[in-house]
Amino acid sequence: MTGRHASARRIRLVVIFLVLLAGFGIGLFLTLSGTLTVLLTDRYVASVEKNLSSLRDFELSIHGIPFQLDIPVHVTGYDDGGNIKKLYGRFNPDVEPGESGDRIEREYYYDRGKLLYVYERVNPVFPIGEKGAEESRFYFKDSQMVAWLFGPTKEKKPRDTDFQWQEADVLETSKDLLTAAAPRLSWVKREPIPLAQFVPGKDFYYNCEAGENGTFLPNGRLQSSVAANVEDNNRVGSWRLDGENLILAGSIISDDVYSDFTFEEKEGKIIAYVNPACGVVVGPDFKTIDGFLKTRSYAFSE
C-alpha cells in the first residue's frame, strides 16, 4: 500500500471514529448512515432556528385532519419565498385538565419540501405532578424515518410496530399540514409601500370582536360599518396618517393606532395587515381581503 493510500485510509478511519464518538450521546447502535443523518439534520435545524426571524411567519387553523382524530390544530409557519422551512403545530391546544386528550406540540422542519426532522412534546392533561411531558425526536431521510430518539436521554427506540406507527403518523400529518398551508403560500411577502401612497381609496376589514369593514375615503373620511356618526345614511369616522402610523377614530370598535404593516401580494393584488388574527387588513376590495383571510384556515372534507 502506497503512503498516499495509507494516509487516505487513516483519514477515513478517523472520520468514522469521530462520527461514532459524536453519536455516542444519541445511541451507539444507530447505523453509521443513521448517525450521520442525525448529526447533519441537527446542524440544519440549528441553522433554521438561527435565521427564523428573517423568514415570513404566518398563522393557520386546521380542522378535520384524519390521522389526528379530527382534533383542531393551530399552526405557525415559516417560509422563504414560498419554501417552507418550519411548521410549528399545536394539536388539541384548547383541551383543559379533566377533559379527554393530550396537548401535543410538534415542530416540523423541511428542506426544499422534504421532511427532515420533527420534535414532539406531548403534554398529558393530568393533575400537576402526576405525569410530566414526554419528548420525542424523529429523523427522516428520503421519506423514511431513520431514527426515533425518546426522552431527555435520547433513548433510541427499536424498529418495531410502535416505530412503524409513529413513522406513518408523523408522515401523514406532515403531508396534511403542507396541504393546508399551500393556499397561504400563494400570498408572497413583498416590500412595504408608503401608507400615504397605498391607503387612500382602499377597503379595510377589522378582524376582531363583531368585525368591521369600510373604505378610506378622501379628506380623511372613513366609511365604516360601525362608525358612531351617520352622514347621508352612511356611518362615517375618520382616518389620518402620522408617518407610517395609521390612526382610526370615530369607530365603535377599531379606534387605535396601527403600525408595522406587513405587505403581501398575489397575482398583482396587494394587501397590508397588522396581525390578521385580530387587527386591520387593508386591500383593493373586500373580495381580495376575504380571499386572503380564508387562507388562514383550512378544513379537510369528511
Give me 29's grid cell.
447502535
Report the pLDDT value the prediction gives residue 278, as an integer from 0 to 100. 83
Each residue's pLDDT tens digit, 56-83: 999 999 988 766 666 789 999 999 989 9
pLDDT < 70: residue spans in the chain: 1-32, 66-70, 93-101, 125-131, 226-234, 302
Whole-number pLDDT of residue 103? 80
Residue 290's pLDDT is: 94
Give the pLDDT of residue 85: 98
- pLDDT score at 7: 56
Q: What is the pLDDT of residue 105?
A: 93
Crossing angle of the two packed helices 3-22 and 32-50, in degrees rounded to 10 = 70
Write down the pLDDT at residue 91.
87
* pLDDT tens-digit readout, 92-145: 766 655 555 678 899 999 999 999 999 999 887 655 545 678 899 999 999 999
